[in-house]
Structure 1
Amino acid sequence: MGRNTQDSGELIPTYYLDAVDPRFEYALNKAEEIIGYQLFDRKGVISLEFDDNPFFDIDYSELPTDWGFIWSKGTFSGSCSSGRVSSRPHSTNLVSYAVGNDYGIDKTKWGSGYAWIQLDSIDEPDPGCTTIANNDVSLHELAHALGMNNHFDGFGNGAAFNSNAERVLRNMYSTQNPAGQPFDSLNIEP
């Protein structure tokens, strides 16, 4: 299950649509702190042209890579959601992981080559809900993109991201668990 990118030397290209948001930086920094090594190549702010039609084509040709994560704000709908990971903005085509069958980073996982980590729904919140993400939601959505597919206690069930989710993320990317490590042979770190 190990998803160690440290050995491969390939960092995940990470872009910010139109502006850097402190929540993006919080999530990236916190994930690297939990994992214990650099995982992201922060490429900077980009601008892309697209409309609200979920079937649009986005021209990524100006980007220096053909894959990566794109952080954005206000590029999805959901009246009881403050974050989503998908293959493009304004889409319900959910993408929950950036890893392939061998549990290594798979830069071709999405049709476009990019996973959009989106915060702050454009919809008005339903009663009892919020559509504005906090730092924990930002980290939660990044963890989905990094391979934490399903919610569990401390990761969407109850807290968006707590010490239980930290432990899972740390073990997923542990240097003790090389890519392809069988589940029953994982080295579990505290």
Structure 2
Amino acid sequence: MSVVSLLGVNVLNNPAKFTDKYEFEITFECLEPLEKDLEWKLTYVGSATSDQYDQELDSLLVGPIPVGVNKFIFEADAPKTARIPDAEILGVTVILLTCAYDGREFIRVGYYVNNEYDSEELNAEPPAKPIIERVKRNVLAEKPRVTRFAIKWDSEASAPAEYPPEQPEADLVADGDEYGQGQQRRGFRDGWCGERRRECSR
């Protein structure tokens, strides 16, 4: 059984401009004291065909973790457009919110993100070079895809039967009712895989 359970993720600034920062209100429950911090990361998938365009937008160490229900705000800058192919700026892509303990990822939440212009004229005839300041994003927050991984926590007794696990325990359907608040071009690639620290609020 996981020592930390994700209870909810609320996308705060959505929809927003492409260049606006991402903001998430994250609620989770910790069942027993932890020796180390939790590391949260947000990754922007820049291309459906190659992970070389993936960008880690930010990472955050959260701790010490009190037992019980905890809540915090995770903020991350928008992706650097210079690292995204022009042909991949518009349309639907993915962001990945992940959490790891002692370097072992145990939860991954994927959201589709629709990027389009703020006018019908530009969407009908998009210029060859994207006009970034006119692009808006909409995180499809009501349809997250959640994947859970069995990991070893602080005690040896918490290690899964096969450690490290070869395959994650995955939810193959959207977890919108439990975790979140919708044109689809890209799918989830197989194998989706500056440090700060923050304390939790109860």
- The two structures have a TM-score, normalised by structure 2, of 0.29
- The two structures have a TM-score, normalised by structure 1, of 0.30
Structure that is richer in helix per residue: 1
Structure that is richer in strand per residue: 2
Greater CA radius of gyration, 1 or 2?
2
